[in-house]
Amino acid sequence: MRANTLIMIVLAGIFGVLAVVLVNIWLAGQRSALAQSNGVQASTVVVAAVPLKFGDPLSADKLREIAWPAGAIPAGSFKTTKEALAGEGTRQALQAISVNEPILATKITGPGQRATLSAVLGDGMKAVSIRVNDVLGVAGFVFPGDRVDILLTRTVRGDEGADKSFVDVLLQSMKVLAIDQVADVSKDSPTVVKSVTLEASTKDAQKLTLAAGAGQLSLALRQAAASKGETTERVTLSDLTGETPEDVAKRQAELDKKTAEEAAAAEERKRADEKIAGLAQAVERVGSRLDELGKVKPAPAVVSKPEVQQVIKYVQPEPPARATVGVFRGVKLETYDVPRQP
């Protein structure tokens, strides 16, 4: 037998013995842990024996008791079924409860109380409903228990007289309590709804009520784990075309230049109209002067030689039948031959 083969056999035997020792140590540790766990004091907790939905009444056949470590009992749980059903009247589930999920006081109503939205509202919170449609309601994919952002779309009249449209994020991470008149969070099929009821503080409820009449409200479904708010900004029509602030400033400068040119042209037309009006007044004064001169009678002529009798007859000149009028059109003077008024 070779020396290498003998060495391999020896090493295999050593590793085998070592593996057996380690397994025995591990099993001993497990037995010790099991023995210690058996010494822990156990208690009982009431859990759901069947799946419960919002509004389902609690009864003895829907509940059962299971063993639970005494040091890890959930807060608000019940130890016995009798304790969970104690009181006058039936208790109802306020949310979906799965099989073997502990029955907590916060998940069920009090004795004789109904499962209504008022029972699931947090301290100081209000329920407010907004109107939506198949598009604004995220195509019916919003369910009770989801978190949504509220978007407000408005159109206002700007200083220049033009309408400006923009969208603001009004509220963030709003909890959906119900869709239409359904508050069952176990609902999993999309449904086109007409209204959504949200949980909001008093101030947020005022904002929603005011915004409903100021513009159009839309929902944006948030990720289930994204409960924190984020920094938002207003979106306008210029953001849709990808215009930069420099583009907006350039377009505004062009508009200002065009406005200035129109104002200058209007001023030039005003001055031209004033010149034409002055020229017309001057023509009228000349015509009046000519009329006055035509009415003046000349003095009688003196006879120098009595022996020669000369008869001098004054013939009154006839006023001109036509007159020439000059009119400025812009900076160009145009003349017109018009009949003279008697």
Name the amino acid, one letter, at 176.
Answer: V
8 A C-beta contact, residue 308 and residue 316? no
Task: Determine the pLDDT at residue 317.
Answer: 65
DSSP string, 234-260: -EEHHHHTT--HHHHHHHHHHHHHHHH
Residue 160 near residue 96, CB atoms below 8 Å: no
CB 279 within 8 A of CB 326: yes
Domain ranges of the chain: 42-115, 122-242, 246-296+309-339
Contact 32, 46 (CB under 8 A): no
pLDDT in tens, 62-104: 999 888 887 788 888 898 988 888 888 888 888 888 888 999 9
State the Cα torsion 201-206-211-217 to the nearest 10°. Answer: 30
CATH number belonging to domain 42-115:
3.90.1210.10
Decide if pLDDT at 45 tops 80: yes
pTM score, two decimals? 0.47
Single-letter code of the amino acid located at 233: E
Q: Does residue 162 or residue 99 have the better pLDDT?
A: 99
What lies within 8 Å, CB to CB, of 171 at 6+ separation is 149, 150, 200, 204, 207, 208
pLDDT of 39 strictly over 60: no
Q: How far is CA 279 from the centre of its chain?
A: 62
Q: Please report, as a single letter, which amino acid is at residue 248.
A: V
- ∠ CA 110-114-120, nearest 5°, is 75
Across the chain, mean pLDDT equals 79
| Calpha distance 283→287 (Å, rounded) | 6
Task: List, for residues 163-206, the tens digit of each pLDDT value.
Answer: 788 889 889 888 888 887 666 555 556 666 778 889 999 999 99
